[in-house]
């Protein structure tokens, strides 16, 4: 038992030493995203604490070893002086157990000032994402998801490109007359001047093409049978049919607005008169009967009336009659020329040419002849008025600047604008069905060609581009 008593302290010290050397690294402090600096500092002190614990254990073993040695030299039952015990158990080279314990106590929480700043070998990564204890109430700006792809913003150019596309104008083709194959023939082309197609091939003159308002057929006059007669064909030139068979000349066909009838002029009865027939040539009827020429028939928009020019009273005057030739009424009274009347789109006004004031000017009046108004005042002749499809404007030909040019104005005669400007003559102007473009004839390039331009005069383009004369352009209406 006495031997075991002296063995116990050394064994206890050894156990403490082993515990200190094998003490596990302190449990990791849970990462907290709000205390990353403190966590890094705590982990850099772990090696220092382990070294300190190992040093304390060694000191305890040394102290206990010295005490054991002292007790082993005692004689059982003998009395040891206090000074001897103190001297033998407290060697000069070894600290006492009490001093070791005191030192251990005093160094248990050292205040260290390291001579270097430890650099952690890793950056702690938070192992958890904090969940807030409340859900914030937001007032977001919500951007809706569009249901369709927005149309790009388009920047418009004031002066369009010079070549118009086939999408504008109204119909898809233009009919015209050309002598490019030796005699005058009917051709069509696309609105950009491409795909020219000769329709009515014959060893004679074909001219005065007129599109039916429904856009399916073209009426024209031809001398292929010896004298001029009225013919009709499909828009592609097929199914050519002769409608008139008279000994005189039948010319200048004009369609009614519903495409059911055709008016024309004929001298079959000795002088030029106005006739009408069904679109298939049946029911040919003489509408005017006078000793002088009647011509220039134009159907009213509702198809109930025809306006025309007559010389029956000695000079050219404007007349109107029913579609069957009834109620022929003189609308103008002057010894000077008055004629070339055309209906406005709504049928409420007539534009016409009058030389009542010395030279030819553009006028308007009611279909009854009332409310005559002069629209132009210039030193040159203003002729050939044409209403825009919506009735808001008129285009016309004027020689006021020395040669024939194309002009436009409002239906009240205001804002007269010169659209063409060159040293050659420009004439035979016609509106497109949608009012966006104009066709006209010009000799500016050395020979007569067909041109187009936008309604404001921009993008003037030579469409026919041929060495022969190309004339009488007319739009397909649908």
Note whether 89 and 66 are within 8 A (CB): yes
Question: Each residue of 140-192: pLDDT tens digit?
Answer: 333 333 333 333 323 233 333 333 333 355 678 999 999 988 899 999 999 99
Rounded Cα distance, 350 and 342, in Å: 6
Distance CA 252, CA 386 (A): 17
E-only strand ranges, 75-198:
173-178, 185-190, 197-198
Superfamily of 173-475 according to CATH: TolB, C-terminal domain (2.120.10.30)
Beta carbons of 464 and 189 less than 8 angstroms apart: yes
pLDDT tens across 17-37, in order?
445 445 444 444 444 444 444
Is the pLDDT assigned to residue 207 strictly greater than 70? yes
Task: State the chain's mean pLDDT as an integer.
Answer: 77
Confidence check: pLDDT of 88 > 50: no
So what's the pLDDT on residue 79?
Answer: 40
Q: Which residues contact 54 (CB under 8 A, 6 or more apart)?
A: 17, 20, 21
Interval 366-394 mean pLDDT: 97
Reported as a pLDDT band with limits 50, 70 and 90, residue 478 is confident
pTM for this predicted structure: 0.66
> Quick check: 435 pLDDT over 50?
yes
Residue 48 has pLDDT above 80, yes or no: no
Nearest to 453 by CA among 117, 257, 197, 159: 159
46 pLDDT tier (thresholds 50, 70, 90): very low
Residue intervals of the chain classified under CATH 2.120.10.30 are: 173-475
Q: How far is CA 433 from the centre of its chain?
A: 24
* pLDDT reading at 333 higher than 90: yes
Q: Which of 104-108, 114-118, 245-249 has the lowest mean pLDDT?
A: 104-108
């Amino acid at each position: 038992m006495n031997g075991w008593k002296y063995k116990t302290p050394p064994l206890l010290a050894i156990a403490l030493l082993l515990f200190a050397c094998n003490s596990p690294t302190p449990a990791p402090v849970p990462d907290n995203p709000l205390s990353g600096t403190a966590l890094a500092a705590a982990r850099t002190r772990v090696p220092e604490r382990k070294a300190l614990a190992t040093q304390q254990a060694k000191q305890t073993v040394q102290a206990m070893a010295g005490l054991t040695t002292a007790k082993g030299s005692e004689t059982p039952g003998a009395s040891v002086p206090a000074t001897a015990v103190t001297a033998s158990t407290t060697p000069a080279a070894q600290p006492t157990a009490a001093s070791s314990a005191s030192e251990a106590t005093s160094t248990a929480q050292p205040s260290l000032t390291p001579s270097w700043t430890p650099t952690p070998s890793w950056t702690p990564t938070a192992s958890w994402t904090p969940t807030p204890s409340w859900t914030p109430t937001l007032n977001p700006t919500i951007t809706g998801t569009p249901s369709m792809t927005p149309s790009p913003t388009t920047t418009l150019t004031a002066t369009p490109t010079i070549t118009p596309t086939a999408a504008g104008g109204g119909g898809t083709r233009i009919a015209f007359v050309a002598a490019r194959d030796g005699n005058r023939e009917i051709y069509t082309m696309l609105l950009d001047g491409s795909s020219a197609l000769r329709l009515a091939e014959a060893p004679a003159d074909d001219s005065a093409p007129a599109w039916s308002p429904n856009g399916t057929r073209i009426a024209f006059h031809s001398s292929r049978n010896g004298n001029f007669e009225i013919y009709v064909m499909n828009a592609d030139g097929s199914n050519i049919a002769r409608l008139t068979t008279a000994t005189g000349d039948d010319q200048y066909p004009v369609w009614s607005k519903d495409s059911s009838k055709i008016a024309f002029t004929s001298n079959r009865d000795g002088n030029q008169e106005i006739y009408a027939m069904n679109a298939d040539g049946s029911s040919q009827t003489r509408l005017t009967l006078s000793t002088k020429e009647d011509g220039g028939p134009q159907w009213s928009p509702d198809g109930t009336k025809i306006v025309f020019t007559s010389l029956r009273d000695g000079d050219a005057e404007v007349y109107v009659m029913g579609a069957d030739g009834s109620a022929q009424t003189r609308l103008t009274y002057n010894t000077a020329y008055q004629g070339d009347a055309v209906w406005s789109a709504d049928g409420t006004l007539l534009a016409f040419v009058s030389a009542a004031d010395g030279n030819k000017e553009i006028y308007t009046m009611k279909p009854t002849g009332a409310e005559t108004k002069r629209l132009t005042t210039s030193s040159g002749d203003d002729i050939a008025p044409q209403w825009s499809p919506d009735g808001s404007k008129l285009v016309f030909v004027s020689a006021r600047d020395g040669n024939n040019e194309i002009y436009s104005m409002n239906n009240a005669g205001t804002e007269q604008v010169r659209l063409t400007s060159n040293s050659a003559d420009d004439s035979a102007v016609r509106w497109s069905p949608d009012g966006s473009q104009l066709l006209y004839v010009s000799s500016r390039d050395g020979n007569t060609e067909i041109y187009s331009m936008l309604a404001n005069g921009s993008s003037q383009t030579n469409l026919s581009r041929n060495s022969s004369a190309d004339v009488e352009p007319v739009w397909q209406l649908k």
